[in-house]
Amino acid sequence: MERPDWAPQGIDLSVPSVARMYDYYLGGSHNFEADRVAARAAMQAFPGLPKIMQANRAFMRRAVRYAVDQGVTQFLDIGSGIPTFGNVHEVARAAHPEVRVLYVDRDPVAVAHSRAVLEDDPRTRVLAADFRDPEAVLNSPEATELFDFDRPIALLLVALLHFVEDTDKPLETMATYRAAMAPGSLLILTHASTDTGPRTEKEGDAVSDVYRRGGNNLVMRNREEVTAFFEGMEMVEPGLVPMPEWRPEGPLDQEDPAVFTGFAGVGRTA
């Protein structure tokens, strides 16, 4: 298999990646055949996935604009993926030119491409790290140089936590991040679930199996389990809802029913 110029050395092109599958769903070009095969199988198992991912991105943009409106100008985006149009720094800076953003991902293609795109931007950094190692994220030179931790930060975990198993203790990890966030900080989160929308639990099991065969875990959680990630935080209205229902900018009756699958919410630290 020919390795494209943008693909870092040392990655196995035959193994699908969550970030590159997401890139494929959104119509991007930074994915390999293994990613496309796995993504098509996931779409067959769980119809409407590209629309769901578009709704995910649309929620992220609305939530980022909300954060800037609340005076937050520091953004920590973990599981940021491969840069596409309308990324966090672009959306936020349309409202405030001094916004600072740290993009974090463990996928080498996502990290390499992000660095190439953002290398001339003095108010963004890109870090190769894993959500499950909060000390490596929070104590990194990138974070300590970019952020003032005495001021509010928006932590974005968009379409990330459903790839973290309970055995990896995500609630304890979240507590570490929350402890580092100043009062008035925001948690911006989306999570896969079959509690909402037209997709069934059986379809959820089927798409989880597709990801598992590719070496990635996909954990569907219910409302109570997703709400637990906001422990100790005040939920911003309208609370934990299907993605299109979080502060919509247009009529919901024109949306594809599939996009009401999964949860979105924003919490604020006291």
CB distance 156 to 76 below 8 Å: yes
Burial class (CB in 10 A: 0-12, 13-18, 19+), 247: middle
> pLDDT tens digits, residue range 218-265?
999 999 999 999 999 999 999 999 999 999 998 998 899 999 999 999
For tokens 């993504």, the residue is 39
Would you state the pLDDT for residue 269? 97
The 3-state secondary structure of the chain, one letter per residue: CCCCCCCCCCCCCCCCCHHHHHHHHCCCCCCCHHHHHHHHHHHHHCCCHHHHHHHHHHHHHHHHHHHHHCCCCEEEEECCCCCCCCCHHHHHHCCCCCCEEEEEECCHHHHHHHHHHHCCCCCEEEEECCCCCHHHHHCCHHHHHHCCCCCCCEEEEECCHHHCCHHHCHHHHHHHHHHCCCCCCEEEEEECCCCCCCCCHHHHHHHHHHHHHCCCCCCCCCHHHHHHHHCCEEECCCCCECHHHCCCCCCHHHCCHHHHCCEEEEEEEC
Q: Which amino acid is at 34?
A: A
Would you state the pLDDT for residue 83? 85
What is the pLDDT confidence band of residue 2, given thresholds at 50, 70 and 90?
low
Would you state the pLDDT for residue 54? 95
Inform me whether the pLDDT recorded for 75 exceeds 60: yes
Supply 105's token pair: 């991902």
> pLDDT tens digits, residue range 164-199?
999 999 999 999 999 999 999 999 999 999 999 999
Within 10 Å of residue 96's Cβ, how many Cβ atoms?
Answer: 14
Would you state the pLDDT for residue 8? 73
Q: CATH fold of 18-246+256-269, please?
A: Rossmann fold (3.40.50)
Inform me whether the pLDDT recorded for 85 exceeds 70: yes
Supply 165's token pair: 């198993």
> pLDDT tens digits, residue range 89-145?
999 999 999 999 999 999 998 998 899 889 999 999 999 999 999 999 999 999 999
Inform me whether the pLDDT recorded for 17 exceeds 70: yes
